[in-house]
Structures are given as C-alpha cells and as structure tokens.
Structure 1
Amino acid sequence: MTSRESYAFQTGADGTDSAIAARASGHGIRDTVTRYYSLTKPGVLYGNVLTAAAGFLLASRGAVNLWLFVALIVGTSMVIASATVLNNVLDRDIDTVMERTKKRATVTGSIGARNATIFSILLGVIGIAILIVWTNWLVVAVGVGGFLVYVVLYGMWSKRMSIHGTLVGSVSGAAPILAGYVAVTGAVDISAVLVFLMLFFWQMPEFYSIAIYRHDEYAEAGIPVISVTRGIEYTKVQILLYTVAFVVSTMLLPVFGHVGIVYAVVMGALGVYWIWLGVKGLRAADSAAWARKMFGFSLVMILALCLMLSIGPILP
C-alpha cells in the first residue's frame, strides 16, 4: 500500500531520504538506525499514512474507533516501508545515475542488498500480521495489492519499460486512502471509489510536473517518463487534463452527502486556482520554473484534501 517514489512530501523527489542517509556517516548504533530509517523513504511513508488517516476519518464521520485507527496506521506504515525498502534494493542501478539518489544507503553500500531485503521482509510480515489481526480482510487485500503493484508492476516493470509507469504507480499511490476508508466500512461504496480516484488523479499532474523539471535526469537514467518520450509540451497538456479530472472528482463527494458546504467551498476554490495555474503552463516560457510551481501547489492540494476529508463530515 504505497505510492510511487515520485511523491516528495510523498515522494522523496527532493532527495530527502538520500540526504538522511548521507548525514549518517558514522558506525555507531544511531547512524546505523538512521540509515535503515532512510531506506523507508520517510517522505513517502508519512505522506501515505496521512492519506490513509484521511480516508479513515472520512468514513468514521466523527465516531472514531481509536484502536482500529492505531492498528491501521501502524500496519499500513510497515507495509509501505517494506515496499519502499525493497524498491531501494531494486533501483540501485537507476539510483547511481540520478543526482538526487546517489547517496542512498543501498547505493553507497552502507547497507547491503541482503540486509535491506531482510529488513523489508520483516517490516512486511509484521505489517500484514497487524492488519490481519486487527483490521479486516478488505484492508489486507488492498495492502497486499498495493504492495505488489508498486514493487512488481511499477518498480520492476512499467517504470523501466513503459511511458505508462506513472499510471501504474498511481494505482498503488491511491491504495492507502482506500485502505483507510474500508477499514471503517468493511465495504467499497461510492465514497471509497471517489477518494481512490482523487488520489489517482492527483498523482498525475504531481509527477508529470516533476518529470518536466527533472527531465534531464530521467533521460540520462533511461527512464521513459512522459516528458522524455512525448515531449514537454505534450506533458503540459496532460497535466492540465488530469488536474481538471482531480478537481471534478473532489467536487463529486458533496453530491453524495458525505461532506458539506465548507469542504465544497475550500476544495472548489483551491481547485479552480490549480486549473488556472495549469492553463498558464501551456504558454509558460520557462517550463521548468512553471512545473516547480505546479508541483509545489500539488502539495498544498493534497494537504488541504486530507484535512477537509478528515473534518468535512463534521462541518456544515
């Protein structure tokens, strides 16, 4: 249950995990723990946990089962961490080329592939066990499915071989919010579908923006992202289309009565601004600078969305 490593508050697109590993250069226990911690891609981890919590609170509608919430967050965190650690092991060849990932512990050799793999297995087994014992089988299915999509379909296959890698990765990136929702309901309803779509659509302009301002790095690493294979102008159009799709999906939730007017006003206003920013990008002379702004606002959008999903059901 994890998102693509493109998340930067979710992604580590700024190389945060690499920077954490680089700072832990000693041989003491603290530095060793820090290096293993960096393998979990903390930005990815915390971002996904935030969306899982938002899905849970939306479904709870003010009546929070605290023990179930804790079990969901701890189990989900460990499954996500397991996937990101394993992704570090699999991506060593790519990470040696890209500037932002050259200092990851699995690249520098400060943590060997074998030890990292064992760490990943331990995290995954414990995380799944927690979800099995204290949540429900639908949460477990979403968790295992998200893990497999991220590690196998995205990390091992589509990211390296297909322009559609982002689409595949976005499926796993939308899994945590779905898991949080079904942990409460035990069933998939229209709200579950909508929150899944919101996260799926949000990731496309978010990552495509990164693909523009890090175009040269992806090209050098041989990763067939959209900006490399189809060009930057085509990517801008796709960013705008997916931004519109995201905003529409957020506006459908009040239609079904799960959130109220406050949610609609806040998300509507932010959504209109994001679309306007996307339209400006079609004529932007400095595509990289515009893409950085678009990416930065995507973080505002996801934080606002998680907040409004969490408190929307108890507001007017």
Structure 2
Amino acid sequence: MNNFGYKASSDGAAVTVSSKPPGGEAGTWKDFITVTKPGILRTNLVAAFGGFWLASQWDVDYIKMILTMLGTALVMASSCVFNNYFDRELDMKMERTRNRSLPTGRLTPTTVLTYAIILGIVGLAVLFFFSGVLAGLLGILGMFVYVVIYTLWLKRSSTWSTSIGGISGAMPPVIGYVAASGKIDAGAWLLFALLFLWQPPHFWALAIRRVEEYRAAGFPLLPVVKGVERTKWQCIPYLVLLIPVPILMYAYGYTGWVFMVVTLLLSLVWLIFAVIGFKTNDNEAWGKKVFLFSINYLTISFLLMIFDTAHKAL
C-alpha cells in the first residue's frame, strides 16, 4: 500500500476467493469516516505537525498550523477515498479489505467518488489560501502521485509501486514545513528523506508476511514477483541511507543531540533486524516484528524531533 503515508493492519489474514459483494445494509456516517483511512490520517498528521514545528523552531503561528493540518488532513482523506474508489474490485479479493464500505455495497461508487472530489477541493483550497501556494502545490503533487501514479498505474503493473509511491507518503511533513517557512531548503529535504526512506522497508515487511494473499489478489509487489529473499536485500539500501538523516538534521541545526542519538540508534537496530532476516526460517514472524518496529521507529522519531527542535535564534 502506498498512501499519503503508510499504515496497515498487523493482523494475519486468510485469502478469500469471493468476488461478489455481500451488500444488504445501508451505509452510515462511520463508513464515511472509514473510507478516509483514519489510521493513516492520524499517523501523517503527526508528521505534518512535526514538519511545521521544526520549521517554526518553537515560534509557532498556531492558527496557521491548525489550518495547515486541516488542509493536509482533507487532502490525505481525499486521496484515500479515491484509493478506495479505484480499488473497490481488487478489495473484494482480499480478506483484509473485502469488508470495506465499497466492496460490501454500504456506499455506492458514485457517492464515494463525489466525496473524494469534495474533500480534495476543500483541502487544497485551505492549503492554497491559508498555508501558501507552495504548500498547496505539494498537496497536489502528493495527491497526483498517490491516486494516479501509484493507485491507477504502478500498483497494478510494477514492483516499483512501493518505492515511487513513497513520494506521496513523504509529503505531509514537507507540507507542514513549507507552510511555516515558505520555502524548500535542507530541512524540507531531510524530512522528505526520512519519510521516503522509511516507507519501503516498512511496507515490504508487511508484504512479506502476506505474500500469498497479495499473490492471490494479483498485486505485483516485490516479494510476489521477485521473492522474499530479493525483497529483504532491497530493504538494505533504504535502511543504510536512513542512518545519516538524523546526523544531518543535527549538523544543520534543526534538532538537538537527543533526537540524533536516539534516532540513529533506532536506525542501526532496524538495520540489524534486516540483516538477521536473512537467517530466519519464519518469515511471517520476522515480518511482523520488523513491521511493528518500523511503526514505533517513526512515532518515536517524530515525537523526539518535535521536543528536540532547535529554538529560534533571538
């Protein structure tokens, strides 16, 4: 999955061969919430907040920050709803997704498409008018990569879907950063690098756990097409490149030494887990461990980055 950021269930799931939506019950307000993938929204709003806070250096325009997070949330929600709309037939093939609102018929495709368009228009309007043109353009870029490049094209045709789709997942903190700073500088690029490099090894751990489910559903993910061993090797370059990011954030004066040391140690531990994976015979257990670790890695890193952001020089 790529999305405007990554979040997936860690529960195991069996493959289903059913392609007919159960249907029957009518949709409720809860369905309109679930199609926005609130788990993804929560995770990436933390990232957007972190980006805004880092650029502000504790001198925060709280009204602008709230509006930026609102616009970002609406744009991300729109992208997720579009994803649900275009993936509705594929979602019927997987146990993890077959009970979503569209496959079950609780919401109609027309309703979901209209909902996605409204969310996108409102979200982009908020970003352009209150967060700046640059933030709005980055919102468009994130939506385009996720909905068009990832969902409609690469997810159905290429193992590059996870890597290229990571561009959209790295947008929320950058949107927050440029909304506060008005520019793309080293800080914006380092935030982009942190999220972009984090996503492939995070998602491939999940894909390894559920490789047969994804194979049955017809998704050409890397472990399905190239195998589990190749996927483990593919994680290594991303994890190696992730190591210098906290060092550079400290060196350029964006964060303090606490963030640098803890995130650096977490990066090294993740790399060790990846290397250990070549010797394991239980790929499912290994994938679950790495997947959960990656979620904690991102949460801890962003919380530390927020609390250890360098103060603005007076």
TM-score (norm 1): 0.91
Q: 1:61·1:314 contact (CA, 8 Å) conserved in 2?
A: yes
Which residue number in structure 2 is paired with residue 182 of structure 1? 178
Q: Deviation per CA, 1:16-68, whole angstroms, max 9, x where unpaired?
A: xxxxxxxxx965xxx61101111001111111111111111111111110001
Cα 1:6–1:143 change in 2 (3 A) is: closer
Deviation at 1:219, TM superposition (A): 0.4
Which residue number in structure 1 is paired with residue 81 of structure 2? 85
One-letter code aligned to 2:184: V
Which residue number in structure 2 is paired with residue 69 of structure 1? 65
Which residue number in structure 1 is paired with residue 279 of structure 2? 283
Which residue number in structure 2 is paired with residue 109 of structure 1? 105
Q: Deviation per CA, 1:208-251, whole angstroms, max 9, x where unpaired?
A: 11110010111011111000111101111112221222222232
Secondary structure of the residue aligned to 2:6 is coil
Query: What are the residue-to-residue correspondences of 1:55-66 with 2, within 5 Å?
Result: 55-66=51-62
CA distance in 1: counterparts of 2:264 and 2:124, whole angstroms: 37
Deviation at 1:6, TM superposition (A): 7.7
What count of residue pairs does the alignment treat as equivalent? 300
Cα 1:275–1:223 change in 2 (3 A) is: same
Q: Which has the higher contact order (CA 8 A, sep 6+)?
A: 2
Extract unaligned runs of 5+ from structure 1. Answer: 16-24
One-letter code aligned to 1:202: W
Q: 1:55·1:177 contact (CA, 8 Å) conserved in 2?
A: yes
Deviation at 1:260, TM superposition (A): 1.5
Secondary structure of the residue aligned to 1:7 is coil
Secondary structure of the residue aligned to 2:99 is coil
Deviation at 1:7, TM superposition (A): 2.2
Q: Which of the residues 233, 237, 257 maps onto 1:237?
A: 233
Which aligned runs of 4 or more in structure 1 are off by greater than 4 angstroms?
A: 12-15
Q: 1:5·1:13 contact (CA, 8 Å) conserved in 2?
A: no
Which residue number in structure 2 is paired with residue 22 of structure 1? none
CA distance in 2: counterparts of 1:150 and 1:272, whole angstroms: 29
Cα RMSD, aligned residues only: 1.8
Q: 2:74·2:122 contact (CA, 8 Å) conserved in 1?
A: yes
TM-score (norm 2): 0.91
Which residue number in structure 1 is paired with residue 118 of structure 2? 122
Which residue number in structure 1 is paired with residue 197 of structure 2? 201
Q: 1:209·1:239 contact (CA, 8 Å) conserved in 2?
A: no
Which residue number in structure 2 is paired with residue 21 of structure 1? none
Q: 1:57·1:311 contact (CA, 8 Å) conserved in 2?
A: no
Query: What are the residue-to-residue correspondences of 1:6-17 with 2, within 5 Å?
Result: 7-8=6-7, 11=8
Q: Deviation per CA, 1:187-213, whole angstroms, max 9, x where unpaired?
A: 111111111011000001001111100
Q: 1:226·1:235 contact (CA, 8 Å) conserved in 2?
A: yes
